[in-house]
Structure 1
Amino acid sequence: MPFPPTTLTSRPRGRTSAGLTLTVAAALLLTGCTASGAPAAVTSTPSVAATIAPTGDGTLLIGTLFPMTGEAGVAVTGAAQVAGTELAAREILEQALPGTLPIQLVHRNSTGNAAVAVADLVARHVDLVLWDATSAVPAEVSASVVAAGIALLPLDDFTNGGTPLAADEAFAVRLRTSDPGLADTAGGGEAFDGVVLAALAAAEAGDDGGPSIAPALDRVSHGDSVCTSWATCRTALGEKKQIAYQGVTGRRS
């Protein structure tokens, strides 16, 4: 590739022509060529990892889909799960740690018309949906929730492939402060842990929007700094630690 004309300036022999050097260098930059005539190597700027734009409004709005009708045994676990979420939200807010977001819960029936229940939660712009600890999330429910930009946390993640177990005596006493008439406490621990994990994910992400919470759920579940309560985990996050929340039911699978 021919270079553009360069202007030479008269210099005494034996000295390098600075004018020639600068002019040729400029020509190389302008033409994209090397001194040998080959195209200059193109360097690319490393791409910056995409960040998730905050979409939260300052309130962590959690929708639940628990069984509230149907067979007696199934509906009982739904009541325990509702009590677990209410207990977790109340205890988090009562501790009033710096940066704690308000938490609101919207309960819907998973054993009724699930499509209608999901549509209602989407219309209410919930940030996260907790699904029943006693069953797998139906594919159509998962697809609808995720498509709406809502984080989804199946509570059977806390059962380690098994079924919810009844709470121990100490936790059962706490559960019944939310619902004194509970006939069974199975599922309450999983629901409690789901709310705490969601609140930790929002704190870690610095945003209560679903797109931010969804990836943060894994980050606060599988770090190298184990913590067992909202307060200890929130403090660890403030110290920039990578946490692994192990709550009432242990570590999320």
Structure 2
Amino acid sequence: MPRRTLTVVVLLGALALTGCTSTTPAVTSTTPAAVVTAAPSGDGTLSIGTLFPTTGDNAASGAAQVAGTELALRDILAEQATPTQPIQLVHRNSAGDLAAAYADLAARGVDLVLWDATTALPADAHSSVGSAALVSLGDFANGGTPLAADEAFTVRLKTADPGLNATSGSAEAYDGLITAALAAVITGDDGGASLDAGWPQVISGMAVCLSWGECVYALGQEQTIDYQGVTGRRS
């Protein structure tokens, strides 16, 4: 599947959010915690690789996960008035030649890799994707089983891929992409080490936010955030 590039504001650096029209988060914090950061290593483009099964027995779930990430990117675009910062999505098949997929993502210098929500993360995955952060979408699955999307989310998902015949893993993929982009905002950098450092801070703060727009608004108000997206609260 070819690389898809969309231009998106991810607000790396200063959070200039005055005038944002997103809903105010339900819970606020007036004493934000210090942000844990790593040495900046990004290049200004948030490049996210995906490893989802696009062939074989789990191909329907793979297609749903691809659609989930594409929908998340579209939602990020919809919240921003002046797109300036690129995000790249690079989809690769986890059910094919996995060694070749690893090598391709590493060669492209992706910053973070999202692994399939329906299968266990291979033991060699971390050492195979270069300097990229690596996240198993199974971490988003409540009880270890990917959610079946509800009716409202399924309708939205099919605007990204009208041919979908399954939704398993789509919610996890959606939340994974949003979390990665928020981690880049929090740390002000798109490098893999920064995304690793920022990831826990997306879900451990005081301001509960349910969408990209709500979370970015809260960050602009210097609040710490607790993103609870399509999959709900993560423990």
TM-score range, shorter chain: 0.7 to 0.9
Letter in 2 for 1:59: T
2-structure distance, mates of 1:200, 1:135: 25
* C-alpha deviation, 1:98, in angstroms: 7.1
Counting aligned pairs with the same residue, the percent is 62
Which of residues 135, 139, 142 is equivalent to 2:126? 142
1-structure distance, mates of 2:127, 2:110: 15
2:64, 2:167 within 8 Å by CA — same for their partners in 1?
A: yes
Secondary structure (helix, strand or coil) at the match of 2:134 reads strand
For residues 36-58 of structure 1, the C-alpha deviation after alignment (integer angstroms, 9 at most, x for no partner) is xxxxxxxxxxxxxx962212122
For residues 134-191 of structure 1, the C-alpha deviation after alignment (integer angstroms, 9 at most, x for no partner) is 012111012223xx22111110111033211221111101100110000011111110
2-structure distance, mates of 1:161, 1:109: 25
Letter in 2 for 1:192: Y
Q: Are residues 1:189 and 2:175 paired? A: no
Secondary structure (helix, strand or coil) at the match of 2:180 reads helix
Letter in 2 for 1:54: P
1-structure distance, mates of 2:131, 2:222: 27
2-structure distance, mates of 1:107, 1:207: 22
Which of residues 39, 50, 63 is equivalent to 1:79? 63
Q: Are residues 1:199 and 2:181 paired? A: yes
Secondary structure (helix, strand or coil) at the match of 1:120 reads helix
What is the number of residues matched between the two proteins? 200
Given the two structures, how large is their TM-score scaled by the length of structure 1?
0.75
Alignment of 1:146-185 (within 5 A): 148-185=130-167
Given the two structures, how large is their TM-score scaled by the length of structure 2?
0.81
Secondary structure (helix, strand or coil) at the match of 1:121 reads helix
Secondary structure (helix, strand or coil) at the match of 2:117 reads coil
Gaps of 5+ in 2: 1-35
1:201, 1:213 within 8 Å by CA — same for their partners in 2?
A: yes
Gaps of 5+ in 1: 1-49
Secondary structure (helix, strand or coil) at the match of 2:143 reads coil
Q: Are residues 1:69 and 2:55 paired? A: yes
